[in-house]
């Protein structure tokens, strides 16, 4: 591989952009002074090596001293040509005759770097096809039947899209609501289909909820997770 070189002008442009960015973001000049010192101590090879790092620059934050405002953050992003507020294409709503989707009002946009974790690749990308090995306390599948779980991230995404009925499906019969699950399988076996309105929706039909309720009672805390009529307190009053 050919050796990377840099001209004096190119290095000056990079350093100038970095210093300008931090001067706008940090009015105390703590960060810009730090990187001026770092750059002054580097030869060209060391400078290139630093630029090849995934995250060569870090913001040094100090409470009450280096605390950028939102306006300063926005102005600093303008130096880099990166907008803080952007319109979002709402492709999931509809498209007009020209094939264009409506746009949202300008909103704060953050960029994330998605990285595949080895554990995610090898263990967390399969669905459970058998449900016999189940922890009857927590309701979670275990052993060979253990598969990818539905976390709060999936529920947050479903909530964003307004898919309330899908949430009920994943959180009840397809989770640990054993009564609803049995009725669901029975309907599918007998009629070949199932409807959410045909499934029972009992307040105590959840293994995880019952487990949490037991923990709370064991801690001498009364909740309405299961006892929605506050039966425990009412019984104590009667006694």
pLDDT at 183 over 90: yes
Residues 196 and 136 occupy one common structural domain: yes
Among 156, 217, 168, CA closest to 195:
168
Residue 48 lies in a domain: yes
**What digits encode the pLDDT tens for the residues 8-65?**
999 999 999 999 999 999 988 999 999 999 999 999 999 999 999 988 998 888 877 7
Domain range enclosing 225: 209-238
Residue 64 lies in a domain: yes
Domain boundary among 21, 51, 83: 83
Residues 138 and 199 occupy one common structural domain: yes
Torsion of CA 153, 210, 135, 151, to 10 degrees: 0
Query: Between 109 and 145, whose confidence is greater?
Result: 109
pLDDT band at 127 (very low <50, low <70, confident <90, very high): low
The first and second tokens of residue 143, run together, are 């052993």
Distances (CA, A) of 225 to 68, 165, 173: 43, 21, 18
Q: Which of 38-52, 127-141, 155-169, 186-200 shows the lowest mean pLDDT across its residues?
A: 127-141
Residue 68 lies in a domain: yes
pTM for this structure? 0.45
pLDDT at 112 over 60: yes
User: What DSSP assignment string belongs to 88-151?
Assistant: -B-TTT---TTSPPPBPPPEE---------HHHHHTSS---S---SB-TTT--B-GGG------
Residues 157 and 215 occupy one common structural domain: no
Count of domains forming the chain: 3
Residue 185 lies in a domain: yes
Mean pLDDT of the chain: 82
């Amino acid at each position: 591989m050919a050796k990377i070189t840099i001209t004096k002008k190119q290095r000056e442009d990079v350093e100038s952009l970095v210093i300008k960015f931090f001067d706008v973001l940090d009015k105390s000049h703590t960060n810009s002074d730090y990187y001026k010192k770092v750059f002054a101590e580097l030869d060209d090879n060391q400078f290139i090596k630093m630029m090849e790092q995934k995250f060569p620059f870090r913001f040094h934050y100090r409470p009450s001293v280096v605390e950028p405002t939102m306006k300063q953050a926005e102005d600093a992003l303008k130096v880099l040509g990166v907008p803080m507020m952007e319109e979002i294409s709402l492709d999931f709503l509809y498209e007009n005759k020209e094939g264009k989707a409506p746009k949202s009002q300008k909103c704060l946009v953050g960029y994330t770097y998605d990285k595949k974790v080895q554990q995610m690749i090898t263990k967390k990308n399969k669905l459970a096809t058998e449900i016999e090995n189940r922890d009857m306390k927590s309701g979670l599948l275990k052993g060979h039947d253990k598969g990818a779980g539905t976390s709060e991230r999936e529920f947050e995404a479903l909530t964003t899209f307004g898919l309330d009925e899908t949430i009920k499906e994943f959180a009840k019969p397809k989770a640990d609501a054993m009564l609803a699950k049995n009725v669901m399988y029975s309907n599918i076996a007998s009629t070949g289909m199932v409807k959410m309105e045909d499934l029972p929706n009992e307040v105590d039909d959840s293994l995880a909820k019952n487990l949490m309720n037991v923990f709370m009672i064991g801690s001498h805390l009364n909740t309405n997770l299961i006892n929605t009529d506050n039966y425990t307190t009412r019984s104590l009053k009667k006694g």
